[in-house]
Amino acid sequence: MDNNYEIKEKTERLAMDKQGIKVEALTKIYPTKNGVVKALENITFDVKPGEFVSIIGPSGCGKTTLLNIVAGFIQPTSGKVLVDGEEVRGPGPDRGVIFQQYAVFPWLTVYENVEFGLKNKVNRVPPGKRREIVMKFIKLMGLQNFVNAYPKELSGGMKQRVAIARAYAVNPKILLMDEPFGALDAQTRSFMQEALLKILSQERKTVMFITHSVDEAIFMSDRVIVMSAQPGRIKEIIKIDLPYPRKMEDRTLPEFREYEKKIQSLVREEFFKIHAEITELLN
């Protein structure tokens, strides 16, 4: 009896260990006309179920490449990504993606864009329920006066909010977000950060979040991964020991300031590596 219990417990623990995202020894080399570009080198990390992990690093260090591999849009040169123990071989409805450049369908209205994911077979939501969900996220994104507008009638920040609403509406288990709030003004950005944390407190999700903002990375995350300049490698992983729910005022905490100083200096180190090379080229 005891033995059975132990086996059950061990099996459950092993199943739990497999949950979430596991990135194992990823390398990505792009062939180009001018030779090969090594975008990623030997990247290994995991994102546990319900965990919020941010990735920060200089422009061109391979963040979007990494996210696209986890999303299943591109294949790694070597290494692999596991989602809940299954190797990623393509995109799937378990992973909602918000792209760096707002990806909205220009021929659909705001409403139809947000509804889009709810209409496909896997995520099929009954039509009655659909309107409620679509309107909830349109309102959350402050787009209620633009329900029937087309993307060409919207600003860049508004288009990005449509893309965010579309991803949230599908309610995927995993959110892969590539600088989702980068195109937004400071006020909206801060509101979007709090809204996402609120959603996550209600619906447990696993999040991989790319940002250039050290402040945003600390405010949102359980852990922050700092990447080195090209080829992208993991420079350091910093655990953010601040309790959720987080509030605006947390930014004034001495611990927050310490994290900021540390991560800022890691990011700057990498920036100046690139900068030094540029300076050499100019001399």
Residues binding Mg ion: number (CB under 5 A): 3
**Helices marked H in the chain:** 2-18, 63-71, 110-119, 127-140, 156-170, 186-202, 214-220, 254-282
Say how many C-beta atoms besides its own lie within 10 A of residue 115's C-beta. 23
Site for Mg ion in 82-111 (CB under 5 A): 100
Nearer to ligand ATP, 54 or 64 (CB): 64
Q: Which of residues 27-86 bind Mg ion (CB under 5 A)?
A: 63-64
Q: Please report how close the Cβ of residue 99 comes to ligand ATP at its closest, in angstroms.
A: 11
Q: Which residue from 65, 160, 206, 228 is in contact with ligand ATP, where contact means CB under 6 A? A: 65
The CA distance from 160 to 98, in Å, is 9
Partner from ligand ATP, Mg ion, none contacting 138, C-beta within 5 to 8 A by type: none
39 is in the binding site of which of ligand ATP, Mg ion, none (Cβ under 5 to 8 A by kind)?
Answer: ligand ATP
Q: From 32-40, 165-173, 193-201, 268-276, give the range in contact with ligand ATP by CB under 6 A.
A: 32-40
73 near ligand ATP, rule: CB under 6 A: no
**Exposed/middle/buried for 67, CB within 10 Å: 0-12, 13-18, 19+?**
buried
Residue 62 as a binder of ligand ATP (CB under 6 A): the answer is: yes
Residue 73 or 191 having the CB closest to ligand ATP: 73
Contact flag: residue 230 with Mg ion (CB under 5 A): no
Listed residue (93, 86, 42, 79) closest to 227, CA to CA: 42
Query: Whole-angstrom Cα distance, residue 176 to residue 96?
Result: 6
- Least distance from C-beta 30 to ligand ATP, angstroms? 3
The CA radius of gyration of the chain, in Å to the nearest whole number, is 20
Give me the 208-237 binding string for ligand ATP, x by CB under 6 A, dash otherwise: ----------------------x-------
Whichever of 30 and 150 has its CB closer to ligand ATP, that residue is 30
222: nearest Cα among 53, 55, 56: 53
Cα 235 from Cα 226, distance rounded (Å): 5
Burial of 127 (0-12, 13-18, 19+ CB in 10 A): exposed
- Tell me how far, at minimum, the Cβ of 270 lies from ligand ATP, in Å: 11
Q: Which two tokens stand for residue 183?
A: 């195109």
Binding residue for ligand ATP, selected from 4, 32, 34, 283, defined by CB under 6 A:
32
Tell me which of 22, 63, 159, 223 binds ligand ATP, using CB under 6 A. Answer: 63
188 binds ligand ATP (CB under 6 A): no
Q: How far is residue 168's CA from residue 124's CA, in Å, rounded to a whole number?
A: 15
Torsion angle of C-alpha atoms 200, 203, 206, 207, degrees rounded to 10: -30
Q: Which residues here bind ligand ATP, judged by CB under 6 A? A: 30, 32, 37, 39, 59-65, 100, 230
